[in-house]
Amino acid sequence: MDETLHIASLVVLARPEMFDAVKANLRLLDGLELHQESAAGKLVVVLEAVHEDQILQRIDQINNLPGVLNAALIYHELLEPEGDIE
Protein backbone atom coordinates (compact mmCIF):
# COMPACT_ATOMS: atom_id res chain seq x y z
CA MET A 1 0.00 0.00 0.00
CA ASP A 2 1.52 3.30 -1.12
CA GLU A 3 -0.79 5.76 0.62
CA THR A 4 -3.01 6.10 3.65
CA LEU A 5 -6.36 4.37 3.31
CA HIS A 6 -9.51 5.11 5.28
CA ILE A 7 -11.91 2.21 5.84
CA ALA A 8 -15.35 2.95 7.25
CA SER A 9 -18.44 0.87 7.85
CA LEU A 10 -21.95 2.23 7.95
CA VAL A 11 -25.42 1.01 8.68
CA VAL A 12 -27.84 2.40 6.13
CA LEU A 13 -31.54 2.37 6.92
CA ALA A 14 -33.80 2.57 3.88
CA ARG A 15 -37.54 2.63 3.30
CA PRO A 16 -38.48 -1.03 2.74
CA GLU A 17 -40.60 -0.16 -0.31
CA MET A 18 -37.55 1.54 -1.91
CA PHE A 19 -34.94 -0.98 -0.73
CA ASP A 20 -34.06 -2.35 -4.19
CA ALA A 21 -33.68 1.16 -5.63
CA VAL A 22 -31.47 2.23 -2.72
CA LYS A 23 -29.22 -0.81 -3.20
CA ALA A 24 -29.01 -0.12 -6.95
CA ASN A 25 -28.01 3.51 -6.29
CA LEU A 26 -25.42 2.49 -3.70
CA ARG A 27 -23.83 0.06 -6.15
CA LEU A 28 -23.19 3.01 -8.49
CA LEU A 29 -20.92 4.74 -5.96
CA ASP A 30 -17.15 4.25 -6.19
CA GLY A 31 -15.29 2.81 -3.22
CA LEU A 32 -18.41 1.28 -1.70
CA GLU A 33 -19.35 -2.34 -1.02
CA LEU A 34 -22.62 -3.80 0.26
CA HIS A 35 -22.06 -6.59 2.78
CA GLN A 36 -25.23 -7.53 4.65
CA GLU A 37 -28.89 -6.64 4.44
CA SER A 38 -32.14 -7.29 6.25
CA ALA A 39 -35.72 -7.30 5.02
CA ALA A 40 -36.38 -4.38 7.39
CA GLY A 41 -34.36 -2.12 5.09
CA LYS A 42 -30.99 -2.21 6.86
CA LEU A 43 -27.69 -2.49 4.98
CA VAL A 44 -24.10 -2.84 6.12
CA VAL A 45 -21.88 -0.78 3.81
CA VAL A 46 -18.09 -0.53 3.70
CA LEU A 47 -16.33 2.50 2.26
CA GLU A 48 -12.70 2.92 1.23
CA ALA A 49 -11.12 6.30 0.53
CA VAL A 50 -7.73 8.00 0.49
CA HIS A 51 -8.92 11.04 2.46
CA GLU A 52 -11.23 11.28 5.47
CA ASP A 53 -13.15 14.08 3.73
CA GLN A 54 -14.14 11.60 1.03
CA ILE A 55 -15.73 9.35 3.65
CA LEU A 56 -17.71 12.27 5.07
CA GLN A 57 -18.81 13.39 1.60
CA ARG A 58 -19.90 9.86 0.72
CA ILE A 59 -21.96 9.61 3.94
CA ASP A 60 -23.70 12.88 3.05
CA GLN A 61 -24.29 11.60 -0.48
CA ILE A 62 -25.81 8.36 0.84
CA ASN A 63 -28.05 10.25 3.28
CA ASN A 64 -29.38 12.29 0.33
CA LEU A 65 -30.30 9.29 -1.83
CA PRO A 66 -34.03 8.78 -2.38
CA GLY A 67 -35.37 6.20 0.05
CA VAL A 68 -32.52 6.48 2.56
CA LEU A 69 -33.69 7.33 6.06
CA ASN A 70 -30.25 7.40 7.69
CA ALA A 71 -26.62 6.42 7.13
CA ALA A 72 -24.73 6.03 10.41
CA LEU A 73 -20.96 5.66 10.74
CA ILE A 74 -20.22 2.60 12.87
CA TYR A 75 -16.49 2.08 12.41
CA HIS A 76 -13.52 3.99 10.96
CA GLU A 77 -9.95 2.79 10.60
CA LEU A 78 -6.89 4.47 9.16
CA LEU A 79 -4.41 2.18 7.45
CA GLU A 80 -0.94 3.67 7.08
CA PRO A 81 1.43 2.80 4.21
CA GLU A 82 3.44 -0.33 5.02
CA GLY A 83 6.75 1.55 4.98
CA ASP A 84 5.57 3.75 7.89
CA ILE A 85 5.00 0.87 10.32
CA GLU A 86 7.53 0.69 13.13
Domain carrying residue 61: 3-77
> What is the per-residue pLDDT across 42-66, written as a single tens digit (0 to 9) for each?
999 999 999 999 999 999 999 999 9
The answer to the question of residue 26 being in a domain is yes
The answer to the question of residue 19 being in a domain is yes
pLDDT of 42 reads: 97
Given pLDDT bands bounded at 50, 70 and 90, which one contains residue 2? confident
Domain count, the chain: 1
The answer to the question of residue 8 being in a domain is yes
The answer to the question of residue 59 being in a domain is yes
Given pLDDT bands bounded at 50, 70 and 90, which one contains residue 83? low
pTM: 0.87
The answer to the question of residue 86 being in a domain is no
The answer to the question of residue 83 being in a domain is no
CATH number of the domain enclosing 18: 3.30.70.920
Q: Which amino acid is at 32?
A: L
The answer to the question of residue 84 being in a domain is no
The answer to the question of residue 47 being in a domain is yes
